[in-house]
């Protein structure tokens, strides 16, 4: 714990897409950049993070974690074991809280790779964290103390909403819904823009209509206090245009397709974990 302010020092291992979104979101919301450290082996990534957010950047994980209370492990799932093994001696010495954002990788795997019995918070954030509009699922292993759990929650709550998940097995489903979810909505935006262009709108105009519509609908979903089905019904005049559009979605099996997509992403999480077993 930082002695002067009480605020934790956070080290990110890996400064790619997800870590950049978290770091950017934290700094934009008043996080002190001098208490955020990032290790990335890629020099252009380090330069971008330093220039954009004023955080301290390092070439190696060992340098970044020196003196840090939280180690946010943000490398690809396939690289987690190696990074953890390299940091294991230090982890056993200082016993930080390890926060893994890796899809699929379990808290047991992270704890074992760090030498055993380490406090691990498994987190599944998403990239809208950059705007403070993130959604993060969190699970804490049995070595995480109450105050560490609260601090981990605060860390992620600074960049959006958090949801604690009691059963770790469900973290893969969290990944399938909200971790990967932004990409589903971006695909929807692409498809709506393409469809608008196919109906004769200029592509840029169609994209603007689609993007602002998704923003407006998303804000209604979280700000109106009403559920999605109620809001949908209010747009849908009987025998009108929306009904015609929605019927095409239903006939095309959109709900079953979404179930398949979330199921595939969820299963992939479990596969990533299994592929990294001994």
Ligand X SMILES: NC(=O)C1=CN([C@@H]2O[C@H](COP(=O)(O)OP(=O)(O)OC[C@H]3O[C@@H](n4cnc5c(N)ncnc54)[C@H](O)[C@@H]3O)[C@@H](O)[C@H]2O)C=CC1
Ligand Y SMILES: O=C(O)[C@@H]1CCC=N1
* Contact residues: ligand Y, CB under 6 A: 103, 175, 179-180
* Separation CA 131–CA 240 (nearest Å): 36
Partner whose footprint covers residue 10, from ligand X, ligand Y, none (CB < 5 to 8 Å by kind): none
H helix intervals, 17-113 = 17-28, 43-53, 61-65, 80-94, 107-113
Secondary structure percentages of the chain, helix, strand, coil, to 5: 60, 15, 30
* Contact window for ligand X (CB under 6 A) among 11-19, 26-34, 154-162, 219-227: 11-19
Q: How far apart are CA 225 and CA 248, in angstroms?
A: 28
3-state secondary structure of 30: coil
Q: Of ligand X, ligand Y, none, which one does residue 14 interact with (CB within 5 to 8 Å by kind)?
A: ligand X
Residue 128's alpha-carbon distances to 41, 120, 223, in angstroms, are: 24, 23, 17
Q: Annotation-wise, does 15 bind a ligand?
A: yes
CB 151, min distance to ligand Y, A? 24
Stretch that binds ligand X, among 48-56, 98-106, 109-117, 215-223 (CB under 6 A): 98-106
3-state secondary structure at position 105: coil
User: Does 52 sit near ligand X (CB under 6 A)?
Assistant: no
Residue 97's nearest CA partner among 121, 79, 67 is 121
Q: Please, which of residues 174-213 interact with ligand X by CB under 6 A?
A: 179
Nearer to ligand X, 8 or 269 (CB): 269
Residue 124 among known ligand-binding residues? no
Buried b (16+ CB within 10 A) or exposed e, 78-111: eebbebbebbbebbeeeebbbbbbbbbbbbebbb
What CA–CA distance (Å, rounded) separates 121 from 103?
Answer: 13
* C-alpha to C-alpha distances, 188 to 39, 134, 185, 195, nearest whole angstrom: 34, 19, 5, 10
- Which C-beta is closer to ligand Y: that of 180 or that of 276? 180
**Residue 196 interaction partner, one of ligand Y, ligand X, none, beta carbon < 5-8 Å per kind:** none
Assess 15 for contact with ligand X (CB under 6 A). yes
Rounded least distance, CB 55 to ligand Y, Å:
22
With CB under 6 A as the contact rule, which of the stretches 33-41, 110-118, 146-154, 205-213 interacts with ligand X?
A: 33-41
Should residue 42 be labelled a site residue for ligand X when binding is judged by CB under 6 A? yes
Work out what residue 134 binds among ligand X, ligand Y, none; the CB cut-off runs from 5 to 8 Å by kind.
none
Q: How far is the CB of 264 from ligand Y (least distance, A)?
A: 11
The residues that touch ligand X, with contacts defined as CB under 6 A, are 13-19, 39-42, 45, 61, 74-77, 79, 83, 101-103, 124-127, 179
Indicate the annotated binding residues for NADP(+): 13-18, 74-77
């Amino acid at each position: 714990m930082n002695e002067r302010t009480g605020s934790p020092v956070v080290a990110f291992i890996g400064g790619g897409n997800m870590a950049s979104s978290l770091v950017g979101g934290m700094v934009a919301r008043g996080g002190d950049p001098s208490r955020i450290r990032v290790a990335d082996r890629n020099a252009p990534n380090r330069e971008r993070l330093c220039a954009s957010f004023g955080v301290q950047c390092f070439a190696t994980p060992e340098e970044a974690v020196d003196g840090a209370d939280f180690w946010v492990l943000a490398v690809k799932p396939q690289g987690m074991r190696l990074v953890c093994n390299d940091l294991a001696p230090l982890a056993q010495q200082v016993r930080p809280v390890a926060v893994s954002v890796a899809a699929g990788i379990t808290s047991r795997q992270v704890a074992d790779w760090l030498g055993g019995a380490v406090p691990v918070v498994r987190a599944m954030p998403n990239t809208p964290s950059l705007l403070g509009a993130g959604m993060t699922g969190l699970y804490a292993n049995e070595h995480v103390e109450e105050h560490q759990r609260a601090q981990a929650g605060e860390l992620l709550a600074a960049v959006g909403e958090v949801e604690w998940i009691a059963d770790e097995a469900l973290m893969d489903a969290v990944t399938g819904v909200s971790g990967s979810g932004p990409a589903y909505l971006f695909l929807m935006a692409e498809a709506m823009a393409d469809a608008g262009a196919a109906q004769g709108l200029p592509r840029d105009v169609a994209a603007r209509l689609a993007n602002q519509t998704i923003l407006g609908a998303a804000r209604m979903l979280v700000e109106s206090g009403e559920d999605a089905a109620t809001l949908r019904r209010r747009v849908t005049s009987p025998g009108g245009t929306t009904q015609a559009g929605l019927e095409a979605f239903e006939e095309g099996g959109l709900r079953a397709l979404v179930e398949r997509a979330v199921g595939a992403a969820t299963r992939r999480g479990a596969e990533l974990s299994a592929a990294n077993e001994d």
